[in-house]
Structure formats: structure tokens, C-alpha cells
């Protein structure tokens, strides 16, 4: 069982930056990790994913070049650095973990993840 706790959300002006953190209760090195977001009235969408050891990353087109996912397995923490934020980035951001046996696996589908955090609100004003 893995428990995930997100932090770092808040209110920021367009063009600003935020760094989200996802702290895991267990050892994260056996899990591929991802960030998702959900805006009011919208479906939860994939934002970024990272392999078990951080050797590979993948981003949604909407955030590519602006967001960076990273992880520190020694601290059992995953990060999402968000730069050049836009009003359309406003959403609740969720961290997710999926147990994987291979270190190269990336997961982009929400239904494939095993564990989820409670979410942190990000609001970008124009």
C-alpha cells in the first residue's frame, strides 16, 4: 500500500511558476509515477509521467516545454515544476503511482494507476 500526498498548489498569475510535490509513504523506486489534472466539468487528463528510476519522461502536448517532472527516490518524492503557467492550467492536480517490474515503463492512462493522492488545487489568474 502506498499513500501519496500532494502539496505546492496555490494561486499564481499567468506567466508564473509553481512546483508541486508528491510525497509517498512507501519506497517509490518500484513505481512509475504520473501527474494528472482535472478541471471543473472536465475529465481527468494526463499531464506528465516518469519511469521508476527517472530515466524517461513523457508529457502531454499542452504542457511540453513548460512543465518538468522529476523524482528523488531517496526522498520518496516526485515533483512537477510548472513554468509559464496559463489560465487553462487551472485544475486540481493529482499524483499517481503504478507498480511496475520494468524500469523503462511509462504509464499515461489514469485507469492503469494503482494509487492516487487527494489532489492539490492550482489556480492561474489572467
Q: How do 10-13 and 120-125 pair as beta strands?
A: parallel
User: How far is residue 111's CA from residue 4's CA, in Å, rounded to a whole number?
Assistant: 17
Residue 69: predicted pLDDT: 98
Residue 102: predicted pLDDT: 84
Residue 28: predicted pLDDT: 78
Residue 99: predicted pLDDT: 93
Residue 47: predicted pLDDT: 98
Per-10-residue mean pLDDT of the chain, 126 residues long, equals 95 98 88 96 97 94 98 95 98 96 88 96 97
Amino acid at each position: 500500500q502506498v499513500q501519496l500526498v500532494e502539496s505546492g498548489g496555490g494561486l499564481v498569475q499567468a506567466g508564473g511558476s509553481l512546483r508541486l510535490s508528491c510525497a509517498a509513504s512507501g519506497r517509490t523506486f518500484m513505481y512509475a509515477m504520473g501527474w494528472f489534472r482535472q478541471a471543473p466539468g472536465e475529465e481527468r487528463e494526463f499531464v506528465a509521467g516518469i519511469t521508476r528510476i527517472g530515466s524517461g519522461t513523457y508529457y502531454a502536448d499542452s504542457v511540453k516545454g513548460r512543465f518538468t517532472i522529476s523524482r528523488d527516490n531517496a526522498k520518496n518524492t516526485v515533483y512537477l515544476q510548472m513554468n509559464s503557467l496559463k489560465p487553462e492550467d487551472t485544475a486540481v492536480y493529482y499524483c499517481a503511482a503504478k507498480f511496475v517490474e520494468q524500469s523503462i515503463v511509462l504509464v499515461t492512462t489514469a485507469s492503469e494507476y494503482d494509487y492516487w493522492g487527494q489532489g492539490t488545487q492550482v489556480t492561474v489568474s489572467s
